[in-house]
Amino acid sequence: MRICFQTDPRFCPDLQLEHQRVLATVPAAANSDWMELTVEVQSWNPEQFARQLQRVPAGFERFRQAQNYESEIPGLTDMAAEISRRTLDPVEWTLAAMTLVQQRMAYDPNLALAYDQGRKTGLSLSEAWIKGKGTCREFAMAMAALCQAQGIPVRFVQGISACGQLHCFNEIDLYPLGWLPVDVQAGMLGQWGNLAVLRIAEKIEDLPMPCEVKIRGIKPLVMQSDRQVYLKLKKLPDEVEGSGQFLLRQWVGKAGVRCFLHLTSELEQNEKLQGLSDRVFSIVSVFSRENHWMKVGEAFNAAVLPRMEILCRQLKNNDIRARLAAGINCNSQTAAVWVEIAVSETLWAKLDLAKKTLDFKPEWVRLVQARSVASLLAKLKATLGS
């Protein structure tokens, strides 16, 4: 992905990195002190990233001595230690630490606006932790404190997104991968091409506040809305992989299996999908009128399942391959059920009957699929447990 922006070069001292390349640098027409830069950011693919994560060995012996942050957050050292008691895998430890921060803190748009409009002092880590909210800056501070309490080398990164927005995240040093991006606010691990790195710092104080960084995005791009999820299941089903879902790593224990998944969102968004969508909703419209179709939301609704099964048969009668699918709605953290439509031999799109869309929704994690309601429910129970 290419990211174009205008800024004073002083705000981006760390542009030259292995995963990004400066393609063009020209004086900005509106400001003689500014430069217009075009940066190409390389993005990993899920298969490549999965292979890289498999190379990370278990254990924390390679990491340096942990630091004590009790003065900042009471009990922080115990929190880091509790995670390490549950797993000795650095990758899973990182995912669990990200989850802890996300559960503790919520994004504060008012604080973000205050930073953009001139506030020059940020919240301290203890203030953000007590309030339970912050911006990407505070999310990165909390993640860094947990990593340092565990002895994991961590640093801060300030970058610009494809939409021209300033963003702060972390990088951790994992052997043998080197510095690995960790974006707690976005819930993403790894380099996915949406962000160009401007500045790297060991301390948050060494990054300028957002109001001090004068930068303007040129030709904003639509950011790829991929998603990653860390799940705990009773059993890992075969259907969890395929059609835009990738298993990055899994951990098997006595209580079940934990898995790390990557969900892609922009697969074959083309005329073929649009034409298929028109055909599908033409059939759905007739079916709804004839069967007095009840309103269908995103939540799991057992009463609607028989009608969904009938709809799948109706679509099949019109030469459209359809199946039932069930899994997790990441937004509501609840079980969900939907209909999937075959776009090709191996690619299935998700039919949202409530929003009347046919696409590849990364917020719906497919765990099982079936042709009948009975089979779907049996598979889902085996996967999630009671």
Q: What is the mean pLDDT of the chain?
A: 88
If one counts the domains in the chain, the total is 2
Q: What is the mean pLDDT of residues 102-117?
A: 95
Alpha-carbon dihedral angle through residues 38, 169, 153, 187, given to the nearest 10 degrees = -120
Between 66-80, 134-148, 174-188, the lowest mean confidence (pLDDT) is in 66-80
Domain boundary (224, 252, 273) is at 224
Query: Is the pLDDT reported for residue 297 higher than 90?
Result: no
CA distance 122 to 160: 19
Structure tokens at 380: 């889902």
Q: What is the mean pLDDT of residues 177-198?
A: 91
Query: Is the pLDDT reported for residue 46 higher than 60?
Result: yes
Q: List beta partners, residue 178.
A: 174
pLDDT for 266 equals 65
Q: What is the mean pLDDT of residues 251-258?
A: 90
pLDDT for 296 equals 47
pLDDT band at residue 193 under the 50/70/90 scheme? confident
Domain boundary (201, 224, 247) is at 224
Examine the domain organization and report whether 304 and 192 are in the same domain: no
Question: Please, what is the Cα angle at 167 between 269 and 54, to 5 degrees?
Answer: 65
pTM greater than 0.85: yes
Examine the domain organization and report whether 278 and 212 are in the same domain: no
pLDDT for 65 equals 57
CA distance 151 to 146: 9
Distances in Å between the Cα of 32 and the Cα atoms of 12, 13, 93, 212, 337 are 17, 18, 47, 18, 56
C-beta atoms surrounding 227 within 10 Å? 19
Which H or E run contains 104?
Answer: helix 90-104
Domain boundary (171, 194, 224) is at 224
Examine the domain organization and report whether 137 and 190 are in the same domain: yes
| Residue-number span of the structural domain to which 204 is assigned | 2-224
Distances in Å between the Cα of 34 and the Cα atoms of 15, 17, 24 are 15, 21, 14
pLDDT for 357 equals 87
Q: What is the CATH number of the domain that holds 28?
A: 3.10.620.30
Q: Is the Cβ–Cβ distance between 216 and 248 less than 8 Å?
A: no
pLDDT band at residue 383 under the 50/70/90 scheme? very high
Examine the domain organization and report whether 285 and 208 are in the same domain: no
373-384 and 305-317 helices cross at what angle (nearest 10)?
A: 130
**240 domain residue, yes or no:** no
Structure tokens at 70: 């009790």
Examine the domain organization and report whether 130 and 61 are in the same domain: yes
Q: What is the mean pLDDT of residues 261-277?
A: 77
Examine the domain organization and report whether 20 and 158 are in the same domain: yes
**216 domain residue, yes or no:** yes
The long-range contacts involving 42-47, CB below 8 angstroms and separated by at least 24 positions, are 42/191, 42/193, 43/1, 43/191, 43/192, 43/193, 43/194, 44/190, 44/191, 44/192, 46/246, 46/248, 46/262, 46/264, 47/246
CA distance 306 to 283: 17
210 vs 65, more confident: 210
C-beta atoms surrounding 33 within 10 Å? 11
Q: What is the CATH number of the domain that holds 323?
A: 3.30.460
Distances in Å between the Cα of 24 and the Cα atoms of 13, 103, 158, 195, 222 are 16, 41, 21, 17, 21
Between 7-11, 34-38, 42-46, 232-236, the lowest mean confidence (pLDDT) is in 42-46
pLDDT band at residue 346 under the 50/70/90 scheme? confident
CA distance 9 to 32: 12
CA distance 274 to 381: 34
Query: Is the pLDDT reported for residue 279 higher than 80?
Result: yes
Q: Is the Cβ–Cβ distance between 34 and 7 less than 8 Å?
A: yes
Between 80-84, 184-188, 353-357, the lowest mean confidence (pLDDT) is in 353-357
Query: Is the pLDDT reported for residue 114 higher than 70?
Result: yes
End-to-end CA distance of the chain, in Å?
Answer: 44
Examine the domain organization and report whether 294 and 203 are in the same domain: no
Examine the domain organization and report whether 19 and 126 are in the same domain: yes
**236 domain residue, yes or no:** no
Burial class of 243 by CB neighbour count within 10 A (0 to 12, 13 to 18, 19+): buried
Strands 245-253, 2-7: pairing is unpaired
Examine the domain organization and report whether 176 and 269 are in the same domain: no
Query: Is the pLDDT reported for residue 226 higher than 60?
Result: yes
Structure tokens at 139: 């999310």
* Sequence-ordered alpha helix ranges (H) in the chain: 46-54, 76-86, 90-104, 109-116, 125-131, 136-150, 271-291, 305-317, 373-384
DSSP code of 249? E
pLDDT band at residue 369 under the 50/70/90 scheme? very high
Query: Is the pLDDT reported for residue 158 higher than 80?
Result: yes
CA distance 86 to 97: 11
Dihedral sign for Cα atoms in the order 322, 324, 327, 330:
positive
Examine the domain organization and report whether 197 and 327 are in the same domain: no
Which H or E run contains 367?
Answer: strand 364-370
Q: What is the mean pLDDT of residues 224-249?
A: 91
CA distance 99 to 112: 21
263 vs 61, more confident: 263
Between 64-68, 297-301, 316-320, the lowest mean confidence (pLDDT) is in 297-301
